[in-house]
Amino acid sequence: MDESLVPASPAEASRQEASLRPRPDRSRPGALAAAVAGAALLAVAAAGCSSSASGHPPGASGQHKSGGTAPPAGIQAPAKIGSLTKASDDPAGFFKGDGLPGPVLKNLHSLTYYDHADSARAAFITGGPGLPVPSDGPGDKVARVMSRWLVDASIAHPITVTSGPAGGTAECFPSAAQPKSLDCGWVSGNVALTLNFDGYSKSEIQALVPKILTAMVRT
């Protein structure tokens, strides 16, 4: 096994397990049905999503867009992002039971990064090309992503965050699970990510999001 994918200590492994917050209401009928249906339609697109911009839906009105307009070519998972070091990537485990087609699942990530400058800090990032977005819900597409894949975010109160050179739409939302924290999401075309954090202040999270997106999004 690649040592870069193993937490530095048993304590970190324990913190990782505790910090990956479960998504309640996994069987929510409307969201899950829409997600599975969307996944089936996106299976073909995910296999060659970078070849053309013609199939990408426009952003919802009122959303803030940063950077360029070209759709992303894909998602990468670098070993390091600033002071963050990758500890694991387990999409098969995270999305188990969600009924995602293989061609979609193979393009997704479920990443854990630890901050080597402060062992109490961590970032958890999930998603990628073809991550299903519920068709019902608010007009804000990022909020719809969060409502399905990071449901303890309070999506009624979005906070606009710059996405830097990655483009697309990035927003953060108050976290019901951690009142002093934020849960964040990003959407560009048919590529979507959720980001949640342990040990960072709200202002630090808002500054981290564009750095993470710049490192992960292939434009």
For the question of whether the overall pTM of this predicted structure is more than 0.85, the answer is no
What are 57-111's pLDDT values in tens digits? 333 333 334 444 578 888 999 999 999 999 999 999 999 999 999 999 999 999 9
Q: How many Cα atoms sit within 13 Å of 28 on the Cβ side?
A: 16
Average model confidence (pLDDT) across the chain: 76
d(CA 187, CA 143): 10
Q: Tell me the pLDDT band of 137, cut-offs 50, 70 and 90.
A: confident
SS3 217: strand
CATH code for the domain in which residue 95 is found: 3.40.1000
Residue 133 pLDDT > 90: yes
The boundaries of the domain holding residue 64 are 59-218
Q: Residue 27: inside a domain, yes or no? A: no
Q: Residue 196: inside a domain, yes or no? A: yes
Instruction: Report phi then psi at 151, rounded to 5.
Output: -75, -10
Q: Residue 3: inside a domain, yes or no? A: no
Instruction: Report phi then psi at 4, rounded to 5.
Output: -70, -15
Q: Tell me the pLDDT band of 219, cut-offs 50, 70 and 90.
A: confident
Q: Residue 15: inside a domain, yes or no? A: no
Q: Residue 75: inside a domain, yes or no? A: yes
Q: Residue 208: inside a domain, yes or no? A: yes
Residue 7 pLDDT > 70: no
Q: Residue 17: inside a domain, yes or no? A: no
Cβ atoms of 166 and 214 within 8 Å: the answer is yes
Find the length of the chain.
219
Total structural domains within the chain? 1
- For 138-146, what is the mean pLDDT? 93
**For a pLDDT cut of 90, what percent of the chain falls above it?**
58
pLDDT score for 69: 58
